[in-house]
Structure 1
């Protein structure tokens, strides 16, 4: 497999029931870098098509191309150093909920620690990020960004970071209103017991392959 085209920093659940559920639900195991048979849920192949390539995750530093002169090994090393200086974060738990027209696992309780980790990664690894080109900026702006989001796009290459960051683990693409409850019921049938509290104590470097799918490169524990 040729080199990765983009990189990101994710939260990936540790090996176990939640990670297994996410891989099966979306049909892609981001940790193993392979497809997975999905459960027998009507329409699941369609309503999970959009998030499938990314795998089951929460984005902490959004996908970016490497800046000129930067390398994947140097990025991995920088993430390891940064993680060693960062304390773990936690919140009360996770729950399945709507985020716009998508269903996702979203945190409950105080999320300031999760925002702290994400902000530190966005800022701490920014030197590795190539600036978005005009085409990417135009594509992002089609979402009718607020002035604050547009400023974040220009500064950090993505509009939903820092104060606009919302921790979430995407479970579907956009759903029609009549699909929300059937999909939510199917989720409740397949979801394992969710962690209480939810603890974020490691982060993962992932890469986008030439085929468009993302897969894990390395994990780093937060030990600061």
Structure 2
């Protein structure tokens, strides 16, 4: 399959990953790329049908962005990206990440209770050391990020790294909803909390990242897993 953009994601495994894929209706972590996930869990008290609440994140799958989607620079292919990412990850260590369910700015997501140094090192290394493989943003791509509405530091990151929320502005998150009005987002958090609480009782182990690709329809597909071997 030909892909127009590539990214590096963290794809949770185990019961949490299975829940996320089922909830969104699309599981990137399954062996068949972009496979339809298991039947959506029955969650009482939803403020709207799950299909409607998850339409936008379904395109990307249940994931946390480490290196945001980008077009490969001329002269480079996906194997170059995979090899480079593997060389980087050979020196990065696995770690545990405690998560909580909350809503921020209308997006319901799982977020770390704190971002440990190992997570920040992972993000920084992959953002900076893969960047020579990235084709510069086109004017249209830059405009879609609404640079005039960004704070100065985020705008500077957009121009330098192709994405505004990196490095000192990076926040790990596993998105579970579209952008929702605050009351609807709060209601969704309340409905999901009993379902996800058992899945979050123990910290999540982060021991690999994944290279993914975006097809012509804007759907992302799993390409390769890369272990943290440090």
Q: How does 1:42-53 map to 2 (within 5 A)?
A: 42-53=48-59
Contact 2:7–2:212 (CA under 8 A) maintained in structure 1: yes
Q: How does 1:147-162 map to 2 (within 5 A)?
A: 147-162=152-167
- Residue 141 of structure 1 and its aligned partner are, at CA, apart by 2.0
Q: How does 1:33-48 map to 2 (within 5 A)?
A: 33-36=34-37, 37-40=39-42, 41=46, 42-48=48-54
Distance 1:55 1:160 in 2: 19
Distance 1:156 1:181 in 2: 33
Distance 1:104 1:30 in 2: 17
Distance 2:182 2:212 in 1: 33
Contact 1:56–1:169 (CA under 8 A) maintained in structure 2: yes
- Residue 209 of structure 1 and its aligned partner are, at CA, apart by 1.6
Are 1:130 and 2:135 counterparts? yes
- Residue 110 of structure 1 and its aligned partner are, at CA, apart by 4.4
**Alpha-carbon displacement from aligned partner over 1:113-141 (angstroms, at most 9, x marks no partner):** 21211111001111111101001111112
Are 1:104 and 2:103 counterparts? no
Aligned counterpart for 1:87 among listed residues 80, 93, 97: 93
- Residue 28 of structure 1 and its aligned partner are, at CA, apart by 0.7
Q: Secondary structure at the match of 2:120?
A: helix
Are 1:75 and 2:81 counterparts? yes
Distance 1:94 1:189 in 2: 14
- Residue 43 of structure 1 and its aligned partner are, at CA, apart by 1.9
Counterpart for residue 173 of structure 2: 168
* Structure 2: unaligned runs, 5 residues or longer: none
Contact 1:90–1:114 (CA under 8 A) maintained in structure 2: no
Counterpart for residue 3 of structure 1: 2
- Residue 188 of structure 1 and its aligned partner are, at CA, apart by 2.0
**Alpha-carbon displacement from aligned partner over 1:188-223 (angstroms, at most 9, x marks no partner):** 243242263333221111111222111111111111
- Residue 186 of structure 1 and its aligned partner are, at CA, apart by 2.3
Q: How does 1:177-188 map to 2 (within 5 A)?
A: 177-188=182-193
Q: Secondary structure at the match of 2:23?
A: helix
Distance 1:149 1:17 in 2: 35
- What TM-score do you get using the length of structure 1 for normalisation? 0.92
Are 1:198 and 2:204 counterparts? yes
Number of equivalences: 221
**Alpha-carbon displacement from aligned partner over 1:62-106 (angstroms, at most 9, x marks no partner):** 000000000111111111111111122334x10101122101000
- What TM-score do you get using the length of structure 2 for normalisation? 0.90
